[in-house]
Structure 1
Amino acid sequence: MADGLADRGLARDVVPDPLEPLPLLRRELHTGPAGLSSREAARRLAVYGPNEVRPAAKTGVLQELLRQLAHPLALLLWAAAALAFIAGIDVLGWAIVAVVLVNAAFALVQERQAEKAVETLARYLPAQARVIRDGQERHVPARDLVPGDLIVLEEGDRIAADARLTEGGIEADLSMLTGESTPVERLAGPGLKAVPVLQEPNLVFSGTSATEGQARAIVFATGDHTQLGRIAALSQRTRREPSPLEKQVKKVAWLIAAVAVAMSAVFLVTGVAVGLPLTDSMMFAIGLLVANVPEGLLPTITLALAVGVRVLARQGAVIKRLSAVETLGSTNVICTDKTGTLTRNEMRLNALWTPEHGTEPGPGSTALVRAAALCTTAAREPDGPWHGDPTEIALVDGAAQRAVPADPADRDAHRRACFRFDPRLRLMSVVQAADRGRLRVITKGAPEAVLPLLAGGEPTRRAQDAADTLAGAGMRVLAVAERDLPDGAGVPSGRQQAERDLHLLGLVGLYDPPRPEVAAAVERCHRAGLTVHIVTGDNGATAAAVARSVGIGVPHLRVIAQSEAIDDHELDHLLRLPGTEIVFARSSPETKLKVADALRAHGQIVAMTGDGVNDAPALHRAHIGVAMGRSGTDVAREASTMILTDDNFATIVTAIESGRRVYDNVRKFIVYIFAHLTPEVVPFLVFALSGGTVPLPLT
């Protein structure tokens, strides 16, 4: 079967160039406007496999248990148990064995519980996809999509595979791949080979979603060959390095072993020198060796970390590895994403501008808000939440907050025509029934698209300056205009007849507001000596506005508008600047890895947050990878060390504070262990040096 596909130009591991001319792409994929036949789709599914990203292989229970039993300190305890049996102290030997086994079982249960918490989080791919097969539209499981399938995309659909648009256009939310919260236009047409693949205007990608428009697209990559799969594979290949605690415990274990062996050897020689029988000297040397091994250290560390894990879980942070709790306590740099972590990931109507009153409220503000809410297609169930394009939901919510509620049933009842959003024109228009039976055209869209459609004498220059000011404050700006049709005029036959000679009502500024608790959390970070950098795919102006609003960048904020272009030398220089926090804008997965590596090279303990697939490699590379539990993808959660069930930056700060408390507890216990060894060893030395004249206080 595979040979047959190869004869027709298809091979399992070869992804066709999606930017070649559409007829060539269709010929290479052996498909057409009618899609594949059901039989051909079944054959390709057998060759390519299901359309899903294969997760990293899970560690088996036996392998994980052996890892716990071979811990450096556990090896020292095994040696102590063996020496106890040799010395005839069977009770102590069995007690040490029990300590090792209980500790390993306890640690195993803790980490397995964390893995189960991760596995129960939602999957990122849609369950169903609409596809053209045998010339007819049908619903099929998304995992059954194959290269060559023709899929149908509409507003609200989750995209199930990497595909090239063949007709129509959509606005796509690519935030899970790019980190940018603003939807982007995707249109059928030729590609631009000089830009990164994620910025190609005719491609859509697995796991993203369509927020506006209608289109058809031909699938060119599924499963591990998608952008989703590529970044997942990159993150899975990144090796996890031991945490600071694991390194320190390993050093302590060898230090204790060296001290215990040295003291035992000294005792053996001293005992023989002062006249003790050789067998007694050996027995006491072994006993001293056993006494110097802190069999309580490993279970105490595990218990302290386990308590920390449970406390953090109640506070909204799921820890996947026990040692990560202490790493949190050692963290001194946080690299955070913007969208959904610092902000709510909810667009809000934040500012209004009218030609008559500017940004001051006035009679025109009510008309502006009402018209913007009417020019939407967002819908909702009775007494339920709105659903649809996030921008339109922000408009109708903003209208309701300003006492101009938009009832979707009344809006649709008075609607005579709807020219849906066209990504090429960047416009949407509706024709609504107004007073006394007259019709009114309402248009909304990008200012640069709406302003040229205004009637002569309209304030286009002032409006463009106002739009630039709002955009500089980090807002997404829409212009809203209208036109009353003459009495008796019918519904315009097309959008060219409708969208002309418009009167500008004003501009609306939409903003993804910061979470209210983030500013206080950032202040706690600064008080604790933590540095906070923003690493985001969003634009620099928006990210800088959010940074300043929550206190990041005090006293100095640097904004790198195109962080992909920064080289290692410049990056090292920036990270060494004292008192400076940085916004890395327009970052790619490689940029995030570069930042994490640079910080590690400077000796920093790095916590990196993220929710998208593009974040996964950096999450793996950072000391602490922090993924989002609500909005994050499975690939990011798989790569992370800690998962925030509330997607909240403030939870990270709380987790770091908890980690520092755990670290203090572990340090106190280690100090106690070394302190109590002295009174244990001194009586042995006095007994040996006196030749047995001074008896042992305890046997």
Structure 2
Amino acid sequence: MTTAPAEVDERQPPTELFRHLRSGPTGLRSREAARRLTVYGPNELSRRQTRHWPRQLLAQFTQPLAVLLMVAAVLAWFGHTVALAAAVVAVILLNAGFAFVQEQQAERAVEALAAFLPMSARVLRDGELVEAPARELVPGDVIEVTEGDRVCADARLIEGAVAVDLSALNGESAPAVRTADGDLVPGPLLEARELVFSGTSCTAGQARAVVTHTGMHTEIGRIAALSQRGRVEASPLERQVRRATWIIAAAAVAAGVAFLPIGVLAGLGWAAAISFAIGLIVANVPEGLLPTITLALAAGVRELARAGAVVKRLSAVETLGSTTVICTDKTGTLTENRMRVTQLWLPGGEQDAAARALALAAATCTTAHAADRGDPTELALLRLAAERGVPVDAAARDAARTALYAFDPRTKRMSTVTGDRLYTKGAPESVLPLCTRVLDAGGIAELTEAVRAEATATVDRYARAGLRVLAVAQRVASAGLLAAGRENAEAGLTLLGLVAMVDPPRAAVPAAVADAHRAGIRVHVITGDYGPTAATIAAEVGIGDGHQRVVTGAELDAMGDADLDRLLGDGQEIVFARSSPEGKLRICEALRSEGHIVAMTGDGVNDAPALRRADIGVAMGRSGTDVAREAATMVLTDDNFATIVRAIEAGRRVFDNVRKFVLYIFAHAVPEVVPFLIFALSGGAVPLPLTVLQILAIDLGTETLPALALGRERAEPGLMARPPRSPKAGVIDRRLLWRAWGLLGVTSAILVTAGFFWSLWRAGWQPGAALSGADYDRATTMTFAGIVACQIGTAFAARTDYASLRSIGVFSNRLLLGGIAFELVFAAVLIYLPPLQAVFGTAALGGAELAFLAPFPLLVWGVDELYRAWLRRRGSRTAHQEAPSCESSTS
């Protein structure tokens, strides 16, 4: 396919451009358009390919723990333990199924995105204006653009003038004027006064244009291609879990290999030694870890979806919790993306009658309809009239209008005529010179120099405050004179006043910014809008702490990488104005190079590259473009900035809860491994206290639901009052391992071992003596039941990392209570049902055994509660130093 469209100089005069495109003012013939469609391809954006499900499914079987379990299954098969091999394979399939299904559900949640380009366009074919599919436009076509249309391709105006909403490309909230006879001004293409671009919307006017670029050769196509570069990187949680699983796998293999010769030297046969090695591997591998993490993240995804955020990748929930910097767009993200009148200036001072006259005149001098997506300025004027009690019905306004002098980009004003009355609105520097009189408290009077100076000073004051200012005037004369021509009609005007408006911040944004600051997160504004306007909005919502540093796109382009690093490294929140897509991408990469976890918000096509590159790209679902939603990791269905902060809180809670159930799962490795060590080190003199199938019953049966319930634990006090954790802080750290293996694990192992030997002592066993099958089954059942009992205590201990259990409520996690109830029922079924007794080698326990086991949960929880109380007595500062990834302000 040719790349000829990219070589067109769209800024050359129309006659030369037509010659270059081999076209003319009447457009192309249908046969020529069809030929060019074959050469240039359809006018549509190519999308990044989605991941194929076979590859995703295969990836689930290449996880370190899955590979390790496969090795264990193979060893069991060669050791002629077919039932064990089948059980391990079932574990592998269960893990892979959980992860795969959840990833698929998360991806399908955002697959239904509409095409970004409009479906059809008005185009000249064979000299006639026809409706044609937008995807069939080609370079050289002549299209017509009118108010309310979305531009279908990059084009050069050849007649007429339009106002276009470029916010999707440059972030500016105010429409830009484009005219066919605009002066050729050097500078960026987006600022060219004669060009319109694919994906932008026409808010006023009518024009014809010749298409210069289509599809991926347009500006929107260039940005879309830029946003698709690179590959999706693993999140912090994915990297940490992968690292942890490799460590676990290496430790399990090392333990199995090390103790295999020990078992042989101790007098075990090779078959028994292999079985022993498999038992060590299975005991060390937390089979429920991966599905539990997957389900916890999936629960976070569902929770965020209910709160207005659709997450495309499960791990993105945790990434949000790691966020250190938010880079936010202004228009439509911090603001409502709609103008609102905030100030009125009346020559005679504020009076209701004069204010109503001003509002009525301003609303009558519009062409927008209240239900339309027209010019935001005109929609704001219609709302102003309604608020002042003089609503203007659009249909009645249009029917009564006798003349319309459309907005002229050169004079920067427009006028409408209704009977004997003309209404004018426009830039103050355009309207004020035409005014000779003024409407004040006493009626119509001469416009004095003092009043003119006051109006000019007011305009300057409003402009410095970041407001957009319009002057509104009227003239009463004969209908014939007012309709005779613009030059005669727009003279001798009476000034009614000034209207100042702004694109207001969203109501929830200031509180959300304050919450982000409290959580130690910096917020930078990156926008294509005017610097002072963006700085004003930033100050209103609390960004910059009243000291806004504004950096323009030109200043950013002139900065070297070292200068940009110093700018971003001084801790100040910055407003980047008039930024380009490349500038946004550069800021994002500079922050990431400094170790920050960057959340990039935006809704326009210009945001897509940075959304793609950021650790977590957050796009707007209602006002955002499909290109932005495609590039983002999370889509806000309510377009609410506050949802981002709620998502960050959810991400932090998810990470903490992952640590809680990792602690819970790891704590049982010690009581599961110790029985095998006792068996091996005794040379078989002590019978094996626990079977491999009983371990699998613990890891996949009694353990899973309580672990999932810990994944839904509510946040500890002070969650959003602590700084972001370091990206290097892992899910598994020294303090977690100490609690899991050194405290809870050892305590559980002591209790479980005591229960096993107590059962042997009651059966009259002596070291090295034979043991009947029933007595042996009862002893291993005591070990199995002891671990289950210790799991209950561990579950309550794991609910908090630092705070006391009482501070969050002993019975506040109902899911955990249900999980423990299931755990007890599941264990009872394995112990008391004869068919399952034969499979798992269990035996019914009597009242004495159950009474012996009853204190286990309280003892395990009590040891950990004492440890956390000791930490609290040492003070929060010491506790924070010991566990930077799980700080809490609770004391």
Q: TM-score, normalised by structure 2?
A: 0.73
Which digits, 9 at most, give the CA deviation of each residue in 1:492-517, with x for residues without a partner?
42111112222221111121111111
Partner of 2:661: 669
Alignment of 1:263-342 (within 5 A): 263-342=255-334
Q: What SS does the aligned partner of 1:655 have?
A: helix
Distance 2:103 2:194 in 1: 43
The answer as to whether partners of 2:75 and 2:274 remain within 8 angstroms in 1 is no
Deviation at 1:614, TM superposition (A): 0.9
Distance 1:584 1:370 in 2: 38
The alignment yields a C-alpha RMSD, in angstroms, of 2.1
Please tell me whether residue 549 in structure 1 is matched to residue 540 in structure 2: yes
Q: State the AA in 1 paired with 2:429.
A: E
Match of 2:564 among 571, 576, 580: 571
Deviates more, 1:669-678 or 1:295-304: 669-678
The answer as to whether partners of 1:76 and 1:253 remain within 8 angstroms in 2 is no
Please tell me whether residue 365 in structure 1 is matched to residue 365 in structure 2: no
Partner of 2:529: 538
Structure 1: give runs of 5+ residues left out of the alignment: 3-9, 434-438
Q: Relative to 1, partners in 2 of residues 1:444 and 1:293: Cα closer, same or farther, differing over 3 Å? A: same
The answer as to whether partners of 1:620 and 1:640 remain within 8 angstroms in 2 is yes
Q: Relative to 1, partners in 2 of residues 1:251 and 1:547: Cα closer, same or farther, differing over 3 Å? A: same
Which digits, 9 at most, give the CA deviation of each residue in 1:466-486, with x for residues without a partner?
12222222222111112222x
Alignment of 1:186-205 (within 5 A): 186-189=178-181, 192=184, 194-205=186-197
Match of 1:376 among 357, 366, 376: 366
Please tell me whether residue 398 in structure 1 is matched to residue 379 in structure 2: no
Q: Relative to 1, partners in 2 of residues 1:507 and 1:676: Cα closer, same or farther, differing over 3 Å? A: same
Deviates more, 1:565-574 or 1:502-511: 565-574
The answer as to whether partners of 1:123 and 1:633 remain within 8 angstroms in 2 is no
Distance 2:373 2:11 in 1: 33
Distance 1:188 1:174 in 2: 17
Distance 2:648 2:331 in 1: 21
Deviation at 1:171, TM superposition (A): 0.8
Q: Relative to 1, partners in 2 of residues 1:92 and 1:295: Cα closer, same or farther, differing over 3 Å? A: farther
Match of 2:144 among 149, 152, 155: 152
Alignment of 1:87-236 (within 5 A): 87-189=79-181, 192=184, 194-236=186-228
Q: What SS does the aligned partner of 1:627 have?
A: strand
Which digits, 9 at most, give the CA deviation of each residue in 1:20-67, with x for residues without a partner?
222111001111111111111111112212111011122222122222
Q: What SS does the aligned partner of 1:584 have?
A: strand
Q: Which one has more relative contact order, counting CA pairs under 8 Å at least 6 apart? A: 1
Q: Is the radius of gyration larger for structure 1 or structure 2?
A: 2
Q: What SS does the aligned partner of 1:158 have?
A: coil
Deviation at 1:318, TM superposition (A): 0.9
Q: Relative to 1, partners in 2 of residues 1:628 and 1:88: Cα closer, same or farther, differing over 3 Å? A: farther
Q: What SS does the aligned partner of 2:573 have?
A: strand
The answer as to whether partners of 1:596 and 1:618 remain within 8 angstroms in 2 is yes
Partner of 2:494: 503
Distance 2:479 2:632 in 1: 64
Deviates more, 1:196-205 or 1:274-283: 274-283
The answer as to whether partners of 1:351 and 1:510 remain within 8 angstroms in 2 is yes
Deviates more, 1:282-291 or 1:503-512: 282-291
Deviates more, 1:392-401 or 1:552-561: 552-561
Q: State the AA in 1 paired with 2:383.
A: D
Q: State the AA in 2 paired with 1:83.
A: L
Deviation at 1:363, TM superposition (A): 3.9
Structure 2: give runs of 5+ residues left out of the alignment: 437-446, 692-891
Q: What SS does the aligned partner of 1:211 have?
A: strand
Please tell me whether residue 558 in structure 1 is matched to residue 536 in structure 2: no
The answer as to whether partners of 1:561 and 1:586 remain within 8 angstroms in 2 is yes
Match of 1:636 among 628, 637, 643: 628
Partner of 2:424: 443
Match of 1:34 among 26, 51, 75: 26
Distance 2:71 2:432 in 1: 81
Deviation at 1:114, TM superposition (A): 3.4
Distance 1:73 1:463 in 2: 74
Q: State the AA in 2 paired with 1:453.
A: L
The answer as to whether partners of 1:187 and 1:424 remain within 8 angstroms in 2 is no
Distance 2:88 2:517 in 1: 44
Distance 2:173 2:90 in 1: 53
The answer as to whether partners of 1:26 and 1:32 remain within 8 angstroms in 2 is yes
Partner of 1:521: 512
- The number of residue pairs the alignment matches comes to 678
Deviates more, 1:346-355 or 1:273-282: 273-282
Partner of 1:436: none
Which digits, 9 at most, give the CA deviation of each residue in 1:631-679, with x for residues without a partner?
1122111111111111111111111111112111211122223322111
Deviation at 1:121, TM superposition (A): 3.0
Q: Relative to 1, partners in 2 of residues 1:592 and 1:86: Cα closer, same or farther, differing over 3 Å? A: farther
Q: State the AA in 2 paired with 1:572.
A: D
Deviation at 1:556, TM superposition (A): 4.6
Distance 1:448 1:103 in 2: 70
Distance 2:499 2:470 in 1: 5
The answer as to whether partners of 2:224 and 2:608 remain within 8 angstroms in 1 is yes
Partner of 1:453: 434
Please tell me whether residue 429 in structure 1 is matched to residue 415 in structure 2: yes
The answer as to whether partners of 2:435 and 2:495 remain within 8 angstroms in 1 is yes
The answer as to whether partners of 2:422 and 2:482 remain within 8 angstroms in 1 is no
Q: State the AA in 1 paired with 2:509.
A: V
Distance 1:152 1:488 in 2: 32
Q: Relative to 1, partners in 2 of residues 1:345 and 1:671: Cα closer, same or farther, differing over 3 Å? A: same
Q: Relative to 1, partners in 2 of residues 1:79 and 1:528: Cα closer, same or farther, differing over 3 Å? A: farther
Which digits, 9 at most, give the CA deviation of each residue in 1:66-114, with x for residues without a partner?
2233234433333333334344443443333333333333333333333
The answer as to whether partners of 1:73 and 1:249 remain within 8 angstroms in 2 is no
**Relative to total residues, which structure has the larger helix share, 1 or 2?**
2
Distance 1:88 1:158 in 2: 70
The answer as to whether partners of 1:415 and 1:430 remain within 8 angstroms in 2 is yes
Deviates more, 1:237-246 or 1:552-561: 552-561
Q: What SS does the aligned partner of 2:367 have?
A: coil
Q: What SS does the aligned partner of 2:110 have?
A: helix
Partner of 2:778: none
Distance 1:263 1:307 in 2: 35
Q: State the AA in 2 paired with 1:450.
A: V
Which digits, 9 at most, give the CA deviation of each residue in 1:359-408, with x for residues without a partner?
x455432221111011111235xxxx245322111101111011121122
Partner of 1:351: 343
Deviation at 1:555, TM superposition (A): 6.4
Deviation at 1:167, TM superposition (A): 1.1
Deviation at 1:296, TM superposition (A): 0.9
Q: What SS does the aligned partner of 1:237 have?
A: coil
Distance 2:462 2:106 in 1: 44
Deviation at 1:248, TM superposition (A): 0.6
Q: What SS does the aligned partner of 1:234 have?
A: helix
Q: What SS does the aligned partner of 2:130 have?
A: strand
Distance 1:234 1:301 in 2: 33
The answer as to whether partners of 2:106 and 2:314 remain within 8 angstroms in 1 is no
Deviation at 1:215, TM superposition (A): 0.9
Partner of 1:467: 459
Please tell me whether residue 388 in structure 1 is matched to residue 380 in structure 2: no
Distance 2:84 2:454 in 1: 86
Partner of 2:11: 19
Distance 1:78 1:152 in 2: 65
Give me the identity figure in percent.
Answer: 60
